[in-house]
Structure 1
Amino acid sequence: MKLSFAILSLAATASAFTPSAPARSVSRVGGSSVLAPVPVRAAGTQLEAAKQTPHGGKLVDLILKSDEEKKAAMAKCNKELQLTPRQLCDTELIINGGFSPLTGFMDEPTYKHVVDNVALPDGLIFGLPVVFDTDDEDLQPGDIVLLKDGDRPIATVEFTDKYLPNKAYECKKCYGTSEIEHPGALMVATERGKYYMGGKLTGLNLPVRDFPCKTPAEVRETLPDDVDVVAFQCRNPVHRAHYELFTRALDDPLVGAGGVVLVHPTCGPTQADDIPGTVRYKTYEVLKEETHNDRTRWEYLPYSMHMAGPREAIQHMMIRKNFGCTHFIIGRDMAGSKSSVTGEDYYGAYDAQDFAKEKGPELGVTPVPSLNLVYTEEEGYVTADEAKERGLHEKKLSGTKFRQMLRGGEDIPEWFAFKSVVKVLRENA
């Protein structure tokens, strides 16, 4: 029997994934003060000519440009707080436009609408709520707080409301379960504070990270404006099968001629047993140098994983839309998770693909189903269907066996992993 979700004990009986909101134009965003888009500051740049329109029609940029503006903003603060690693990622993606059209943490009505409808109150699709959590009883609406990462000021937030979320209901709707065996539900129960607070952000500085994370505007300036851009999301080192998968995606009939791939790994907090972001970053950098593929671009995303399966697939697509991508590769069991007790999958292998296909036209991003590739002795990497039809001999290496070989200093077959990646993993074990 699975553990009961003690912290989130209130029963939540609603279905995990709600019907989609009616299709709508995304040329404008109405209403709430934390949703209104901010005009792009870099007028006349490549950004305006980018093939993909930012989510909501405008790319948010909340980062103040002059020292005088920053000093004036900080002078208004009556308190300061240290951001947790997850809060730091969310703050960065709000102020740099990655979460466009958000301009702050969600207030209670916005939070509830996203949880229930996978959409903002005006109907614009949005995968998961973005909230500021706290246990601080003294924080109140009206407080203007300086948010810091160590000694570095990152943003100010003017809090608009403070509310007690129904965490069990949130998890049931967003993750499909409120059991703490799910890593996202465990995060909500044990990492997030008792209260959520809405508030409008003003950006001061981007965090200093071991992996440089360009803003959506900066990434857009590097992308072609006349071909499709296919995003590939990952949170693990890229091995041979991954590389074959995202390079072959350019041949998919859904992708126009001359398209490029943006490999856009998340380097923020994730599951407890995942490889740390700083190590993952090193593996990506050596692989980028080893492959030298003109049709492949590499950038890094300061995003905190929820392992929310279908709902998180929508969140990833929406973020990459803001970074200029027109297409998004959806893998089998994307952002999936297993029970920490039984080992059973929480989502079906194709749930994320199906949900992405349903929401893709409304979102304005085309999902590209990933190929199910296997390695064969005769032909190298081919699809599993082709291997079966032709009677080819497959070679397999499980993730568990790979890690055992890695720790034991055994030779890793080159058909499975790049030598440069293996070297980094061993040096940082």
Structure 2
Amino acid sequence: MKFFTAVAFLTASVSAFTTMTPNKVASSNAMAFSQFSQQSALMAAKQVPHGGVLVNQMTDDKDAAIAKATVEIQASERQLCDVELIMNGGFSPLTGFMDEAAYNSVVENMALEDGTIFGLPVVYDTDDESLQPGTTILLKQGDLPIATVELTDKYVPNKVLECKQCYGTSELEHPGTLMVATERGKYYMGGKVTGLNTPVRDFPCKTPAEVREELPDDKDVVAFQCRNPVHRAHYELFTRALDDPLIGEGGIVLVHPTCGPTQADDIPGTTRYKTYEVLKEETANPRVVWEYLPYSMHMAGPREAIQHMIIRKNFGCTHFIIGRDMAGSKSSITGEDYYGAYDAQDIAKANAEKLGVTPVPSLNLVFTEEEGYTTADEAKEKGLSIQKLSGTKFRKMLRGGEDIPEWFAFKSVVKVLRENI
């Protein structure tokens, strides 16, 4: 843990490291589409990308791009997720890491400088005192060159303000706040990204353009975000969402789990991916599409719900399932929730028009002895016997080799978990 960074974080205040004119990497939709045309891909999905155009920062001339770089840097796992979503358009309309003006605008206003709504800042962080604006760096994953970044400015962020605005707290007991304080470097730097190669992962992550090509252009697509294995209740939730009156006839679900870094006690991404693959094969539901997202979770609750909706919009989704306490987190000391159960749903509804994505509130499903899965309200009204199994109890049973009730988890998923954790 970067102890001194954490100490500095508690007393940090905004100040510019340089006074160079920042490159407005995120404010111009026209610039985002100046060199690349993907109209054929856009025609394959009903939804338009965020900001109107789908960014593609990948270059065909890798040698020329690499030749401009004077510094090589190994990217962290979180940086690899961020740079991949910049390169492939998942973070459209961004074409690079946010400069100070864009960063401040998103932190304070939840929007880019041109007013385009955006949930969380996307920044390149560093402790390197020698890195200066005007430098082009080469980000690598081991020996593989991933992208170059033309650094435009360097600034000391107000991390306290960032966390208060984006996470709702500056307490280090919050996993996202702890990440900002102890994992991210002292400085943030803005700069245009030029993509060279996609990071190598243990699971395939298709680009927004590739996913769009597979989606129908005349049907609603509702996205389901998760960061944990999909159990029976989750499956019932996202398949029943297709019956919601907000979803048009013949709509489909895109199950789009995040497989990047998340909070410390979550199941590793590679294991989660294996559970999704066996479940996809077991259920074989023609109205359910499974894809994977190289995204770094922040556990930022309402603000992260907005971020997830923007990303899925870029992947072609028209609707987004908002669960109770979505992307929520608890204090590592008190165990209390940082967000209300419906905070994410409320912010999604309030910003649905700006986002151009329709939020679909998730059903509060419970399992009953008499009628299987039903809504909690219906179970209460009918006086049905509700069965419960906590996540803590489930993990204990899993490790102890006990039988897991099939109403709670799919056998194929349980088998993978037992083999990998």
- Taking structure 1 as the reference length, the TM-score comes to 0.92
**SS of the residue 1:8 aligns to:** helix
Mapping 1:231-380, distance limit 5 Å: 231-380=223-372
Mapping 1:120-139, distance limit 5 Å: 120-139=112-131
Amino acid at match of 1:264: H
**SS of the residue 2:43 aligns to:** helix
Do the aligned partners of 1:63 and 1:96 also contact (CA within 8 Å) in 2?
yes
Q: Which of the numbers 44, 51, 56 marks the counterpart of 2:46? A: 51
Report deviation, 1:8.
Answer: 2.6
Distance across 2 between alignment mates of 1:186 and 1:44: 41
Do the aligned partners of 2:41 and 2:210 also contact (CA within 8 Å) in 1?
no
Q: Any stretches of 5+ residues in structure 1 without a counterpart?
A: 13-30
Q: Does 1:395 align with 2:350?
A: no
- Give % identity: 77
Do the aligned partners of 2:78 and 2:296 also contact (CA within 8 Å) in 1?
yes
Amino acid at match of 2:48: T
Do the aligned partners of 1:95 and 1:202 also contact (CA within 8 Å) in 2?
yes
Corresponding residue of 2:82 = 90
Corresponding residue of 2:141 = 149
Distance across 1 between alignment mates of 2:389 and 2:420: 22
Q: Any stretches of 5+ residues in structure 2 without a counterpart?
A: 1-5, 14-22
- Taking structure 2 as the reference length, the TM-score comes to 0.94
Distance across 2 between alignment mates of 1:115 and 1:405: 42
**SS of the residue 2:194 aligns to:** strand
Q: Does 1:191 align with 2:183?
A: yes
Do the aligned partners of 1:328 and 1:367 also contact (CA within 8 Å) in 2?
yes
Do the aligned partners of 1:128 and 1:174 also contact (CA within 8 Å) in 2?
yes
Distance across 1 between alignment mates of 2:241 and 2:131: 48
Query: RMSD in angstroms over aligned alpha carbons?
Result: 1.3
Corresponding residue of 2:11 = 10
Distance across 2 between alignment mates of 1:186 and 1:208: 27
Aligned length in residues: 404
Report deviation, 1:45.
Answer: 2.7
**SS of the residue 2:321 aligns to:** strand
Report deviation, 1:10.
Answer: 3.3
Distance across 2 between alignment mates of 1:184 and 1:140: 27
Amino acid at match of 1:63: M
Report deviation, 1:6.
Answer: 4.2
Distance across 2 between alignment mates of 1:7 and 1:161: 21
Distance across 1 between alignment mates of 2:362 and 2:178: 29
Do the aligned partners of 2:123 and 2:189 also contact (CA within 8 Å) in 1?
yes
Distance across 2 between alignment mates of 1:11 and 1:92: 29
Q: Does 1:426 align with 2:421?
A: no
Report deviation, 1:39.
Answer: 5.3
